Structure 1
Amino acid sequence: MSGLGSRLWGRHPVGWSAGVMRRRRWQHRSAIEVTNEPILEFKPGSPERAALQKALADLKGKTEAIPCVIGGEEVWTPTVRYQLSPFNHAHKVAKYCYADKELINKAINAALAARKEWDLKPVQDRAQIFLKAADMLSGPRRAEVLAKTMVGQGKTVIQAEIDAAAELIDFFRFNAKYALELENSQPISVDVSTNSMVYRGLEGFVAAVSPFNFTAIGGNLAGAPALMGNVVLWKPSDTALLASYAVYKILLEAGLPPNVVQFVPADGPMFGDAVTGSEHFCGLNFTGSVPTFKRLWKQVSENLDRYRNFPRLAGECGGKNFHLVHSSADVASVVNGTLRSSFARIKRWIEHAKKSSSLTVLAGGGRGRLLHVFFATQEIFGPVLTVYVYPEQRYKEVLELIDTTTPYGLTGAIFAQEKRIIEEARSLLRNAAGNFYINDKSTGAVVAQQPFGGSRISGTNDKPGGPHYLLRWTSPQAVKETHVPLTDWRYAYMQ
């Protein structure tokens, strides 16, 4: 399986009432208590279904004009593009334009002008903006963002609900919680001096480059650095502009100052050249393909001498998720988990399997479901399930095969009932997956439950959805304040 749905499948729906009501209790000035946003079911006759149907009807046949937003102002350039609905190419869901190099540089300057004031704003105030945005997404703006994700990115209602509602809400709420807890994480002080840690934003601007497939990722790539006091240039995916712009507007309505995040649709290579070429570039928050991330990393290295700091590079790329099935596994659980992690077909890879002399299509191969043999090394980035059948006595060889065959290290799963086998797999596959599942499918990571990410060429494994992720977007300053004057330059042993 490829990494397409690694975040998605597996969150369970609940009723509307649980989704509307939130429990948040302030423990003290810098701590909050939050829980994962429940998944709504959209049953016939439910209020959430009615709200979504209205939102979908409002989008029917309409084209939303989406400008670049630079320095708080809407800007249009001559380079006009259209986002098409993936299941109805006749429907132009959005009209937008590309920022040119001059406009990107203007966005950089506008962001830098806002950096100092935003960084000095107390984290409690910054957190409140994201908590308010989460409440808006949870309640009155939920249907709008879901509808725009469905129409613009071709997701089903539950796919959109898991992504654009639950995961994005969780990112905003838990990031706020983690930021406040980080502020409370202070070093030890002694009688004669007080020690403290100041969690500053990075000096410069962060470029956020978001993908087409997850609305939540875009909101988090731009939102997490901003929460920590950074200013951001957000380049959304061309094929996710409709939903991304909705999230951006919600953040502004929740109180995010206009210049903190610049909304900059642009040609990918031009944007990359412009941001990595700026002396003020201090970070990249990226989700996308391996070749693009490598290109940006190389550009950063080539421009290293012009930067004032060493830029922070955070990247989430793809994967080749594995389900390792041992003979002791519960077969029904294996089948159900694997089917939940995979979908229908990608024709090009099926045709490749048919033409190959070393591969055999065991069943299907047409437009319906299929099960075929294909132990590939590259990410397909689509719903293709490949199966490798191994002799039971070669189990240990298969462990090595999994660890060494692909260059990825995103997610994987072991299905077995024998504890010895599970522990052996955990040990030998220690570096093969950033998210490892035992007797469960290799997809469906939930914010704060399974912080997500992989290493090797799957990315930098910074674990969005967990508390450590926010540290990537801070430049801590240790402060020592001494309360007792020093009366002698000599140490005691020198007396």
Structure 2
Amino acid sequence: TVGTNIEKYRSYPRIVGETGGKDFVVAHPSADRAILKTALTRGSFEFQGQKCSASSRAYVPASIWNDGFKEEFAAEVDGITMGDVTDLSNFIGAVIDERSFAKNKAAIDRAAADPTCTIIAGGTYDDSVGYFVRPTVIACTDPENEVFKAEYFGPILAVLVYEDEKYDEMLTQMESVSDYALTGSVISGDRAAAAYTMEKLRFAAGNFYINDKSTGAVVGQQPFGGGRASGTNDKAGAPQNLMRWTLTRAIKETLVPPTEYGYPHMG
């Protein structure tokens, strides 16, 4: 819109863009299971997953996933209370509107029909009274699948289970599988592994969390913003964001100005 109206501006406009995300949680084999489960549940399904920072893809080692975590996590997700938001015993409510409901319904139906995907929790929806989509967890064996790339902006989490010894290979693949680069987190009990992951994924998330969910930034408390398709990464709430809107003027005063045009070597 700015580009098509550029002739109307006296000065070129300054733009800060903040669009969407396909935010991740990476679990290192040293991850604490309880921390991981809570980070996934809260990060993915709080506010019905309707946050640009919501966790919507997770990478979990086989040593954790196959050791009862899959069943524990699925049971927790299926136990999430959902309903009227005026009833404070409910954790989540309906998605925002019919368009959002249709988008999430289509994503669930697509995953249900995909042979590389298995719905392990949720997978149902109901618009008879409000636009309700159950929190849904999809385990997918194809790391290039749409479920790891597309932003659904709803309560849908895609999980890739990786072999523990292929941690670095997994990081390399997931770093740019999605166009977005807004938020992400690593759950790790190994400080060196957490630092390595943070460095490896330095361009994959403008806001990176260690042993926490991928959401929670509050303007004025934690600078927020991402790059790539997620926006201009101008970090709302940070001092450098203020500089984005200032007009910088350079001033030069010459105390001994020349009075002839010629240079000394010309004589």
Shorter-chain-normalised TM-score: which range? 0.5 to 0.7
Aligned counterpart in structure 1 of residue 195 of structure 2, from 414, 418, 423: 423
Q: Which residue of structure 2 lines up, in the alignment, with residue 363 of structure 1?
A: 121
Alignment-derived partner of residue 19 in structure 2? 317
Deviation at 1:486, TM superposition (A): 4.1
Distance 1:468 1:415 in 2: 29
Amino acid at match of 2:29: S
Counterpart of 1:188?
none
**Structure (1 or 2) with the greater helix fraction:** 1
Aligned match of 2:33: 331
Cα distance in 2 for residues equivalent to 1:487 and 1:384: 68
Note if 1:279 corresponds to 2:7. Answer: yes
2: CA distance between counterparts of 1:353 and 1:411? 24
Alignment of 1:224-243 (within 5 A): none
SS class of match (2:185): strand
* Pairwise CA distance, 1:414: 0.5
SS, match of residue 437 in structure 1 = strand
1:412 is aligned to 2:184: yes
Aligned residue number for residue 139 of structure 2: 373
Whichever residue aligns with residue 139 of structure 2, its letter is V
| Aligned AA (1:372) | I
Contact 1:435 1:450 survives alignment (8 Å):
no
Deviations 1:216-273 (A, max 9, x none): xxxxxxxxxxxxxxxxxxxxxxxxxxxxxxxxxxxxxxxxxxxxxxxxxxxxxxxx37
Structure 2: stretches of 5+ with no match in the other structure: 50-103, 126-133, 141-146
**Are residue 446 (structure 1) and residue 218 (structure 2) matched?**
yes
> For residue 347 of structure 1, what is the aligned residue in structure 2?
105
How many residue pairs get matched? 191
Amino acid at match of 1:464: A
Give the counterpart letter for 2:112 in structure 1.
Answer: K
Scaled by the length of structure 2, what TM-score is found? 0.64
Matches of 2:183 and 2:149, distance apart in 1: 14
Aligned pairs for 1:29-428 (under 5 A) are 272=1, 276-281=4-9, 309-343=11-45, 344=48, 346-367=104-125, 368-374=134-140, 375-428=147-200
Superposition RMSD in Å: 2.5
Structure 1, unaligned stretches of length 5 or more? 1-271, 282-307
Structure 2 distance, partners of 1:487, 1:450, is 49
Moved more, 455-464 or 441-450: 441-450
2:67 maps to none
When residues 480 and 342 of structure 1 are mapped into structure 2, their CA distance, relative to the original with a 3 A threshold, is: same
- Secondary structure of the 1:352 match is helix
TM-score (norm 1): 0.36
Aligned residue for 1:475, secondary structure, equals coil
Higher relative contact order (CA 8 A, sep 6+): 2
Q: Letter of the aligned partner of 2:36 in structure 1? A: V
Structure 1 CA distance for aligned equivalents of residues 257 and 8 of structure 2: 43
Say whether the 8 Å CA contact 2:137–2:156 is kept in structure 1. no
Contact 1:411 1:443 in 2 (8 A): yes
SS in 2 for 1:414: strand
Q: Distance in 2 between matches of 1:394 and 1:406?
A: 20
Match of 1:333, SS?
helix
Contact (CA 8 Å) 2:187, 2:211: kept in 1 or not?
yes
SS in 1 for 2:150: coil
CA drift at 1:446: 1.8
1:380 Cα deviation from its structure 2 partner: 1.2
Structure-2 change in CA distance of 1:436 and 1:487 (3 Å):
closer
Give distance in 2, aligned partners of 1:394 and 1:314: 38
